[in-house]
Amino acid sequence: MEDIIIGAVALAAVFLFFLYQKQNTKQYKLPPGPLGLPVIGNIHQLESLNPQRFFAGWAKKYGPILSFKIGKRAMVVISSAELAKELLKTQDVNFADRPQHRGQEFITYGRRDMAFNNYTPYYREIRKMGMNHLFSPTRVATFKHVREEEARRMMDKINKAAETSEAVDISELMLTFTNSVVCRQAFGKKYNEDGEEMKRFIKILYGTQSVFGMTFFSDFFPFCRFLDDWTGLTKYMMECFERQDTYLQEIIKETLNPNKVKPETESMIDLLMEIYKDQPFASEFTLENVKAVVLDIVVAGTDTAAAAVVWGMTYLTKYPQVMKKAQAEVRDYARENGLTFLSEDDVKNLPYFRALVKETLRIEPVIPLLVARNCIKDTKIAGYDIPAGTTVNVNVWAVSRDEKEWGPNPDEFRPERFLEKEVDFKGTDYEFIPFGSGRRMCPGMRLGAAMMEVPYANLLLKFNFRLPNGMKPEEINMDVMTGVAMHKSQHLMLVPEKV
């Protein structure tokens, strides 16, 4: 008898669930999209490999604004410059929240960071502080010597490999470069690259980054939290958190030590600890807030610039005429000025190289779907209803290929575009928004660009490269690995030759 009652209650629950879903969606005129199944929505139709290309394919079928569902959650993807402007400029405030994500929430100490906090008064205070201090032009400039020193180290390593015509792993080298720079900028720590401390830092970082990018069942099916536990996701998330927290706690302890030797340049955590001591915000800025904000800097700062330069070198290998032109510019400049290394100041004088940096971020924007936004109040875009609580992604990868803006061959890697057209990535030219735009735009844009430029320019100055083992450029695998930033899934191996 008991079984029959439980069965009947379960059936009634499922029936009510469907009824609720039906009523809930009936009144809205949602953007077009593929037909989904009850309960699961469109989850079975999604591809996780190369999501930006996958959604660009859907956009061809359904248009520049499309909708679908994962479980209960309504999702919208925008793929044109015009609608990106509508979302990120005209309706920016209404889309300034971030959607719920169990892993991000847990690992950022309950969203005390900048990237995943909603558009709250606390968020506005830390964002303002970030723009004025953490990421200000002055602070970016104070770490110039760090970036240049680490870039020299990277070139020395490639030099050694060039002596024996050994292939180098550009992906690994770039990650080591960004990891070292970020450790010095964020914590004032200079680790031995192959030492145990650096290995520990990298393990922690990769764990944290993987949790940020992970899909949790309970985000889309709130009643399925037990599946996160069964599959081991919850345990993995907690282990990553433990390791990260122990490390950050140690860093904070060192910073609080009155006998600590003051570093030559004030690191970002020093600045955050001053805020902790002064408590200038309306809400309390605890040690957990310090950890959460510094985590953003570390996570966002390491992956992005490294991924971008790797994509750049990949496209240059596929487009040798662009490689030659870029090399000619940097080498002529170095010869005329008697230089063997290009500094950040030199890069400003290299128009083709600067166009190359932009073209690299256009053809493979490293956060191709931006960080998702959450719709705060019911609204309309392009005549369609967007209900409150909808998760919205801007497919920057598709926007960067919007033929209306970029002409007939948007897939061609051609830096000249940026010499012919005055477009910048500062967030006001909506056809080119690799750093996003509006209130949630990347605050680390200047720092990110600076971290890309010096290693990129010096790779072009000092070496010619070829693919190993007679591999042909068209054989390079272009798949992406999903995470915070989209890396090339297979590491880029190149054989350097000294110039």
Taking the least distance from each CB to ligand HEM, the nearer of 240 and 392 is 392
Asked if 440 is part of the footprint of ligand HEM (rule: CB under 6 A), the reply reads: yes
Q: How far is the CB of 449 from ligand HEM (least distance, A)?
A: 6
Asked if 435 is part of the footprint of ligand HEM (rule: CB under 6 A), the reply reads: yes
Residue positions in the annotated binding site?
Answer: 442
Strands annotated E in 153-237: 168-169
> Got the DSSP string for 3-57?
HHHHHHHHHHHHHHHHHHHHHHHHT--PPP----BTTTBTGGG---SSHHHHHHH
**Residues in 72-131 at the binding interface with ligand HEM, rule: CB under 6 A:** 114-115, 127
Taking the least distance from each CB to ligand HEM, the nearer of 448 and 496 is 448
Q: What count of Cα atoms within 13 Å lies in the side-chain half-sphere of residue 413? A: 22
Taking the least distance from each CB to ligand HEM, the nearer of 233 and 294 is 294
Residues 6+ apart with CB under 8 A from 277: none
Q: How far is the CB of 305 from ligand HEM (least distance, A)?
A: 5
**Residues in 208-267 at the binding interface with ligand HEM, rule: CB under 6 A:** none
Find the part of the chain contacting ligand HEM (CB under 6 A) among 155-163, 346-354, 362-370, 380-388: 362-370
Rounded-to-integer distance, Cα 379 and Cα 386, Å = 5
Q: How far is the CB of 393 from ligand HEM (least distance, A)?
A: 10
Rounded-to-integer distance, Cα 333 and Cα 336, Å = 5
Taking the least distance from each CB to ligand HEM, the nearer of 33 and 444 is 444
- Among 33, 99, 436, 496, the residue binding ligand HEM under the rule CB under 6 A is 436
Radius of gyration (Cα) for the chain, nearest Å?
A: 24
Asked if 363 is part of the footprint of ligand HEM (rule: CB under 6 A), the reply reads: no
Pairing assessment for the beta strands 73-78 and 391-394 based on DSSP bridges: parallel
Rounded-to-integer distance, Cα 498 and Cα 160, Å = 10
Taking the least distance from each CB to ligand HEM, the nearer of 180 and 234 is 180
Taking the least distance from each CB to ligand HEM, the nearer of 155 and 308 is 308
Size of the site for ligand HEM (CB under 6 A): 26
Taking the least distance from each CB to ligand HEM, the nearer of 334 and 450 is 450
Identify the three-state secondary structure at position 381.
Answer: strand
Residue positions in the annotated binding site for heme?
Answer: 442
- Among 39, 376, 419, 441, the residue binding ligand HEM under the rule CB under 6 A is 441
Q: How far is the CB of 294 from ligand HEM (least distance, A)?
A: 10
On the 0-12 / 13-18 / 19+ scale of CB atoms within 10 A, 153 is middle
CA angle 352, 353, 355 (to 5 degrees): 65
- Among 443, 482, 484, 487, the residue binding ligand HEM under the rule CB under 6 A is 443
Q: How far is the CB of 184 from ligand HEM (least distance, A)?
A: 12
Asked if 269 is part of the footprint of ligand HEM (rule: CB under 6 A), the reply reads: no
Site string for ligand HEM, 291-330 (x = CB under 6 A): -----xx--xx--xx--x----------------------
Q: How far is the CB of 85 from ligand HEM (least distance, A)?
A: 13
Q: How far is the CB of 271 from ligand HEM (least distance, A)?
A: 13
CA distances from 1 to 7, 9, 10, 11, 441 (A): 10, 13, 14, 15, 59
CB of 372 within 8 A of CB of 96?
A: no
Q: How far is the CB of 436 from ligand HEM (least distance, A)?
A: 2
Find the part of the chain contacting ligand HEM (CB under 6 A) among 63-71, 228-236, 375-383, 429-437: 429-437
Q: How far is the CB of 221 from ligand HEM (least distance, A)?
A: 25
Rounded-to-integer distance, Cα 113 and Cα 288, Å = 9
Find the part of the chain contacting ligand HEM (CB under 6 A) among 65-73, 152-160, 283-291, 432-440: 432-440
Closest C-alpha to 426, from 448, 410, 399 = 448
Q: How far is the CB of 147 from ligand HEM (least distance, A)?
A: 11
Rounded-to-integer distance, Cα 140 and Cα 156, Å = 24
CB of 69 within 8 A of CB of 220?
A: no
Asked if 453 is part of the footprint of ligand HEM (rule: CB under 6 A), the reply reads: no
CA distances from 472 to 163, 168, 462, 466, 475 (A): 23, 17, 23, 9, 5
N residues, the chain: 499
Give the residues lining the site for ligand HEM (CB under 6 A): 114-115, 127, 296-297, 300-301, 304-305, 308, 366-367, 370-371, 434-436, 440-444, 447-448, 451-452
